Every structure is written in structure tokens, then in C-alpha cells.
Amino acid sequence: FDKMYNQAGCNTWRNWEDMNNKWEKVQSIILHWADNWETLYNKIPKGGFNDADMLIAGDDRLDHVLPIEIAKHQFGFWALISSPLLIGGDVRTITSKYRAVLMNSFVSSVGQDVDRNQAICTVGCKDSVKMKTNSDIIQVWMKHLAGDSIPNSAFGFFNLGNTTVDKIMYQFPLDSSPELLLCSDLWSQDPSINICAAAALATDDDINEIEDDSDWNFRVVKDDSDGSLHLEISALNVPPTSHRMLRIYLRYNTAHKTSKSWDGRQELDDDDARKKVFHDEVSQLALPPIM
């Protein structure tokens, strides 16, 4: 990577097989990323991008079009790993439902975050050959984001198997007990809707559960061994070859020093101000209509 970036002047490069409009190829590339995510994450120079190949949403080559959920699956994963979002289909003939996938600025803002970091694999990493023989293939990817005034992260919960998964769960480490300001389902009809209540999360042995949306469940859990806190996020009833994407904004107590990647961020107290920041960020990424 360093030679390509520093000597050849390249800032993006392909990493794996060519894409086509079959689910098996999308799955293969995602499993490859899970197998090699640490190298792909750690070895890339700042300003370089790993290219997972083109987006196939609406492409009709081989007389076949990816089902809409798989097209969203690919777009969401590509955004999390900061792959260049290159449209592979003919933009003159892409239908409106696939156009809506490609123009989801809430998802593309994850891929175009100013820090240009890739997501890290937290669940279902490695051993892709073994996983291919298992009908339950799940992954969770997490990405810290910088393109906002409030500490926030994006999460992808992926079902790469052939049966519906009742729950895909990840425990997100917390520095202390924060206020859960905004949980945004990036593929919902209105991602600006907060799917979890803006309330202080429990710090004692009682568990604070928030079930404002049937697709998600949130709770804070405490590790008895060391007293550490985790935000347990569960994506519920995820269909096969589908996924869920979530963006969470957290505010820690001002007396508490936040994690290094979040130090020095401005904190906003007003709920309307938080929403404005969120909308201003994604509005800057709004794409022109595809004619």
C-alpha cells in the first residue's frame, strides 16, 4: 500500500475479486474483508482507499438485477469500509427504487466521513471458509465518525446466511455512563427519527432497556468482573442476505474525559441543535437527481 501511495501516486486500489450482480459475489467480498480486515485497516496510508469494486444497484448485466435488499446490503457495507462508491450500472436506466438506495445520503455520509477511517469487524470475523458451510453467517462492523460536533459511531449488523436471524448483538464499550442522544436507523423511511429515548442510561445493577422500535433493542449492561459498562445493541429479526445500519450519538458527562478519538468535540445541549447538525451534515452530501 505504501509503495502504491507514495511511489506510484495512487490513492485507491482493488483488493479482491471482480464484482458481478450475484449474491454469492457480494457475500464473497464481504467475507474476504472479514478475513483480512486488520491488514486492510492498519496498513493503508492516510488518504488511501481500499476499493471493493463497483456498486451493482440497478445494474442489469447478465440479464439479472440484484434484489433490492442485497443492493442495500452492498451499499451499506461499502460505506462502512470507506470503499469508493462507484456506480456500476447505467445511470440513465436505473429505476427509482434502486436510485433511492444510491441516493441515501444518510448512508453515504458514513462512507464519506471526514476522517476516512474504515470500520472494524467486531463479530463474525475470520474463518470465512468455515462460515460458508454454516447457514447462520452474521457480522457486526463498527466505525467511529468525525463528521459532526457530537461523538458518534455507525454500526452495521449483517446477515450473510440463508435464514432469518432473531438477534444480532454487539456490546459497545462505554467510557462511563453517557446520555444516549440519538439513534438513527439509516435505512428507515425517516432516519432523522430517534429510535431510542434521549435519556440517561442506567449505571447501577438495574438494566435500562429501550424498545421504541421493533427492529432494535438497546440496553446498558455492567460487567461484574471489572465494573465496565457496555451499550448492548441488538438488531432483531434480520432477514437472510439483509442488514441493518445504525448511527448513535452519545454525550458523556462534561467532567469525564472522553476517549482519545472523541477528545475536544463540541457538545450540544439543545435537541433541535443536535438534529440540525445531523441534517446539515447529510445535506452537504445530497446527490443530484439521476436523469
Taking residue 75's Cβ as centre, other Cβ atoms within 10 Å add up to 24
Record the pTM.
Answer: 0.83
Looking at this protein, which amino acid is placed at residue 171?
Q
pLDDT tens sequence across 230-241: 889 999 999 999
Taking residue 96's Cβ as centre, other Cβ atoms within 10 Å add up to 9
pLDDT tens sequence across 155-212: 999 999 999 999 999 999 887 766 667 889 999 988 888 887 543 444 444 445 554 4
Provide the pLDDT for residue 165: 95
Provide the pLDDT for residue 53: 94
- Of 217, 95, 88, 87, residue with least CA distance to 157: 217
What CA–CA distances, in Å, run from 194 to 22, 53, 78, 271?
A: 34, 33, 24, 11
